Structure 1
Amino acid sequence: MSFLDSFLIRAALAGLGVALAAGPLGCFVVWRRMAYFGDATAHAAILGVALSLAFEVPILGGVLLCCLAMAAAVTALTGRGHSSDTILGVAAHSALAFGLVAVSMIPGARVDLSAYLFGDILAVGRGDLAVIWGGGALVLALLWWRWSALLTTTLNADLARASGMDPEREQRYLTFALALVVAVAIKVVGVLLIAALLLIPAAAARPFARTPERMALLAAAVGGLASLGGLRLSFLADTPAGPTIVATAAAIFALAASLSGFRRKVAR
């Protein structure tokens, strides 16, 4: 019997693969206040699923393409008569609505939308694992390569330009990484919850990190703990795995916030 024959082992590895990539990337989402941007990108994934099914191409490619197109459209429209929050809200909900309508119009397609909206981690196969870990490794490699430039442009775009860096180029790298994480995380938590898996571990790690690097590591650890703990709770309580993983992350965040508040009171 192979190590990967157990569906629980495959599910645990899938959760870890997404968490290790989403944690460090989520730190930049928190630092740059890109929560709505992450939502809009994630919701565009449903439209990518519909296009992939309609044209019979791999879902990863369709989702990645639609996520990048959404990110480019939002960037182009921001500042043209509407606030960025308004543009992101319209884009996020419109992409989700158009995606759901498009899926329903595909002739002969029998699609379980809940698997894409909330994830189906227990159905992860060996091929899915290869995609998740391959995509996660690519995201981590990209963050490692551009870490200094991304940090500098996040802190001060003018300082980055003075140092010879291009903030717009770094934003494109970050957008690509975000789209890739969304594409590989669909099986784990679904498009409605991937933004939470980006934000919550990073937010939980923030009070306990003195450096950006430590925050990224702690966020990855929190995400991994939430994935494994949520999967275990889901198995014991017979609850949906994706939402349970996010709920576990939220519980860890609440505990971290309580500990941080207690530490501040003791320090006073």
Structure 2
Amino acid sequence: MVLNTIEMGESGPRVVFCHGLFGQGKNWTGIGKALAEDYRVVLVDLPDHGHSPRSERFDFLDYADRVAELLSGDSGGADPVALVGHSMGGKVAMLLALRHPELVERLVVVDVAPVAYPHAAEFEAYIAAMQAIDLEGLEGRGDADAALQSAVPNPMVRGFLLQSLRREAGGWRWLLNLDVLGRDLDTITDWPEGELAADATYPGKVLWVGGANSPYVDDGYVAAMDRLFPFNRRVTIKGAGHWVHSEQPEVFLEVLRRFLESPAQSD
């Protein structure tokens, strides 16, 4: 499975970004462009999202291994990257670092923790609303926005979802494998603890970023994070919810730059 990517920048260390559920690599475009003068930026479409291939079932470890193949195939494993992941993509990034630490020089985990979350009902409503739109009869994106309004009252979230609605010569289509994502939501909100080695840890530096208004990162998750990622540093960004990098992009970028420019983890 060859994942779709967008690349920016011509020199410097590589920084690879993984998006969250219902997203695509281009969600990171603003941050990527800001870094591209000093870094080689790679924005990844994860499986079942964007222009990457579809799968028959959602599997976190398979997602992580597919990104690992991308990284090792591109560099032969000789050039470990700074890996950044948000939400679902943050779990993918954590699992990749745990399973393939030689590929990850440092890790940034954005507004998620290595735990199971009970948030499936909200996402079920989003998926049902997207699937209910008559794509053959759809005249414009505004009509799709109106159709989603009841299930997705937050205009920012609606706008985020509608980024994956694409108009092509044959009509409209979702750049999402909605059938698989809807069926496997319990897996997506879970954490595959039982599939990791009992002593699994990542030895590199980790920046753990949370939004002050988000429920996805709180003190109750510190023990799980510390056990798997002993060299993590937690930063909470004020005025941000779950979409930290979209809600406070300048602050997020400054925090990210400082981490990328900091020395590598000492032995």
Please state which band the TM-score falls in when normalised by the shorter chain: under 0.3
More strand by share: 2
User: Given the two structures, how large is their TM-score scaled by the length of structure 2?
Assistant: 0.27
User: Given the two structures, how large is their TM-score scaled by the length of structure 1?
Assistant: 0.27
More helix by share: 1
Structure possessing the higher relative contact order (Cα contacts under 8 Å, 6 or more residues apart):
1
